[in-house]
Chain A
Amino acid sequence: MVRVIVNKVTSSIATIFGASVVAFVLLRVLPGDPARLIAGSLASDEAIAGVRRQLGLDQPLHVQYIRYITDFFTGDWGFSFSSGVPVKEILGSRFPATAELALYAFLFAFLSALVLALLATYREWPVVDGVVRALSSFGLGTPPFWFAILALIVFFEQFGLLPGPSGRLSSATTPPPLLTGFYTIDALVAGQFDILGEAIKHLILPVVSLGLVPFAFLVRLLRANLLEISSEPFIVVVRSKGIGRWLTHVRHALPNAFLPTLTASGLILAELLTGSVLVERIFTWPGVGALVVDSIKRQDFAVVQTFILLSASLYILVNLVVDILYGVIDPRTRIPTTEAR
């Protein structure tokens, strides 16, 4: 197992290197000059040259690149060119919002897909299966932003059941004392149940909007795999041992059908964690998705470069966890160690 992880980490470093080169090159070939943006459109050429020198943009590209990498790994992520605030601080204030939304959206998508796929394939229940398939088609065919707007019109405008697009809490509410940055958890720890309730209400619509497509994808995938495994001979053998239908389904069919869903779940989680521009915009959610788009527009190198490397690291981390879980679920994917024959 240790060797597997070492191998994985080595290949991860290569991936991060690749991501860093792409990030670096792309930002530099984009039109526009950050020095001019910082110095202002009326600044003299000397002033701009001064800014360039200060930022290190007058150095040869490879020197700039090495500085970028060393700074990233030493934790010196620089300042936002546009606002002058340290990148660490900006991302630190934005990321928990995205992470909270992403994790709940993932849990919503994953758990509902799991339960519905199991029910749809458990027995010959054409109605249940039909409903699940319809939900899946609806989810796959519905753009999240459209669903978000529709949900706002119905639940906020029409019935007033849920809060409107006002971010994570109503503007009048003070956030709970900072602990994890997840308002639901922080409020729970602080015992502020009214704030907890409010945070949950604010989460419902963004979570469903964001989780709908992943849900639809996962339920379709898992349903198909469960159906395939259910017709395997070993399922009949398990039943011939006297094991009940449901237990056979959950204990034997599910673990065998689960691997593709696990892989997809990893990718989905990583994608959600790196933010969603449209859904964050619609609900004025103060997450990283909106931040990154704004930073690209402003050619805010420091923010974008850091973000790309962080996302790449996040993807790699999630996939590493998925790879380890693979071995736990399916013994055939375990890489033989020295003790094995």
Chain B
Amino acid sequence: MAAEREQMTEQTAQPEPNDDLLLRVRGLKTEFVTRRGTIKAVRDVSLDVHRAEKVGIVGESGCGKSALALSILGLISSPGRVVAGEVWLNGRELASLSDREMQVVRGRNVSLIFQDPMTSLDPVMTIGSQITESILKHQRGISRRAARDRAIELLRDVEVPLAERRIDDFPHQLSGGMRQRVMIAIALANDPDLLIADEPTTALDVTTQAQVIDVLERLVEERNAAVILITHNLGVVAEFCDTVKVMYAGRIVEEATTDVLFRAPTHPYTEALLHSVPDPKRLARGPLPTIPGAPPSLADLPPGCSFEPRCPLGQGVEVCLEQAPFPIEVGSPGSIVVSECHFAQDRWAEAHNPTEGVQSHE
């Protein structure tokens, strides 16, 4: 495996050689053509993920997070289509690969943990077979016996009790938390470089959530894998992720390291998201703040900033109504924030020099 990976980096045709860079996405656009119009689920998204980095992608339901994950893996199915963009993994451009070559990437270099453990496993196949299927696919020449032993080992790794007996169980014999562990075991079967976890804890109760995150954290540390954690649970992000990207209406509207972003969000949407996290201390002070309105339809986006109709700052403001904001880099070295807001500069300055009133933004 290691040798092959090295070989892969040798074939590098990467624009800027960077040993640390694992995944580079540039200008990715994914659209779904439906009768009600073209849904732009991913709109020109670019992102970098470094080795062993834990990246959080947060946003409301329907903001294109899952579509982004599936687009990276080349698993967008009809009527959806990746219409533009590049995905580089280990210096290889994935869009140019044939389906057969892509099969080698999936499950080995990148693997996916899916949203709902209740529907993510094949109900008529033992969990053991579902794990070994992935091992047998990617590790040529391995015997069934050895693959089975490896599967038991994986189940132990994700803390499934009585792994050697559970391996012959069917999914319906396991609880949701156990199934999610099985999903993680499948995703880790071939020691991937990148794990994309699409809301891995959403369908689980809080205790199980914490356990699953613990397992994930330990495994990532042991195996040195990078993780993209897609979630709308900001608590999980704060605990788990190194960097955060906030998605809104198919775009990444703000990205920064977790500390910086949670301390001083520059994008009004991020701020609103942070405010709507339930906080036991605040419960007494009235209802939980929410973001008024709903995300815009991805089939019919406003011409200006996509957050303008709901924005406490920009609602009705001319520049926000007419111009879609570009990503602006603000902040100081070491705590750079990229934000897609016309007022990002001001807001950053305001947050960091609260004594000085800031008027101009140019």
Interfacial residues, chain A to chain B (CB-CB below 8 A): 124, 232-234, 236-245, 252, 255-256, 329-332, 341
Contacts and interface: CB of A to CB of B under 8 A. Distances in A.
Contact of B120 (A237, A244, A256): A237
Interface in B176-190: 183, 186, 189
Contacts of A236: 70, 75, 77, 112, 114
Nearest to B183: A237
Nearest to B126: A331
A243 B186 CA distance: 13
Interface stretch (B3-11, B99-107, B150-158, B262-270): B99-107
B223 interface: no
Interface in B95-130: 99-100, 103-108, 111-112, 114-116, 119-125
B108 A252 contact: no
Contacts of A341: 173
B170 A234 contact: no
Contact of A252 (B77, B125, B173, B183): B125
9 contacts: A232-B119, A234-B119, A234-B123, A236-B70, A236-B77, A239-B75, A240-B114, A241-B137, A242-B108
B27 to A, nearest CB: 23
Nearest to A244: B103
Contact of A329 (B121, B124, B133): B124
Contacts of A234: 119-123
A159 B125 CA distance: 51
Contact of A240 (B106, B121, B172): B106
B107 to A, nearest CB: 3
Given A256-B122, A332-B123, A241 B134 contact: yes
B138 interface: yes
Contacts of A252: 122, 125
Contacts of B112: 236-237, 240
B92 to A, nearest CB: 15
Nearest to A253: B122
A245 B114 CA distance: 19
Contacts of A244: 99-100, 103
Given A124-B78, A330-B124, A241 B170 contact: no
A240 B75 contact: yes
Nearest to B172: A332
B123 A256 contact: yes
A341 B169 CA distance: 11
Given A233-B114, A242-B107, A243-B103, 17 more contacts: A233-B115, A233-B116, A234-B119, A234-B121, A236-B112, A237-B112, A237-B186, A238-B133, A240-B107, A241-B107, A242-B104, A242-B106, A242-B108, A243-B107, A243-B137, A331-B170, A332-B123
B228 interface: no
Contacts of B41: none
Given A242-B103, A242-B137, A237 B121 contact: yes
B119 A233 contact: yes
B121 A241 contact: no
A53 to B, nearest CB: 61
10 closest residue pairs by CB, A with B: A242-B107, A240-B112, A241-B107, A242-B106, A241-B134, A331-B170, A242-B103, A233-B119, A237-B120, A124-B78
A242 B123 contact: no
B261 interface: no
Contacts of B114: 233, 236-237, 240
A239 B119 CA distance: 14
B304 to A, nearest CB: 35
A243 B105 CA distance: 11
B87 interface: no
A237 B117 CA distance: 10
A237 B179 CA distance: 13
A336 to B, nearest CB: 10
B177 to A, nearest CB: 17
Contacts of B103: 242-244
B246 interface: no
A245 B103 CA distance: 9
B252 interface: no
A239 B102 CA distance: 10
B95 to A, nearest CB: 17
Nearest to B100: A244
Contacts of A243: 103, 107, 133-134, 137
A233 B106 CA distance: 16
A331 to B, nearest CB: 4
B73 interface: yes
A255 B134 contact: no
Contacts of B189: 241
A340 B106 CA distance: 36
B138 A242 contact: yes
Contacts of B186: 237, 241
Residue of A124, A237, A244, A252 with most partner-chain B CB within 10 A: A237
A255 B125 CA distance: 9
Residue of A241, A244, A256, A330 with most partner-chain B CB within 10 A: A241
Residue of B119, B122, B137 with most partner-chain A CB within 10 A: B122
Contacts of B75: 236, 239-240
A234 B77 CA distance: 14
B120 A241 contact: no
B199 to A, nearest CB: 12
Contacts of A242: 103-108, 134, 137-138
A44 B8 CA distance: 103
A241 B189 CA distance: 9
A239 B103 CA distance: 8
Nearest to B169: A331
Nearest to A230: B77
Nearest to A123: B78
B99 A241 contact: no
Nearest to B196: A240
Nearest to B110: A240
Nearest to A245: B99
Given A236-B75, A240-B112, A255 B183 contact: no
Contacts of B170: 331-332
A240 B73 contact: yes
A15 B28 CA distance: 63
A236 B122 CA distance: 10
A152 B54 CA distance: 71
Nearest to B134: A241
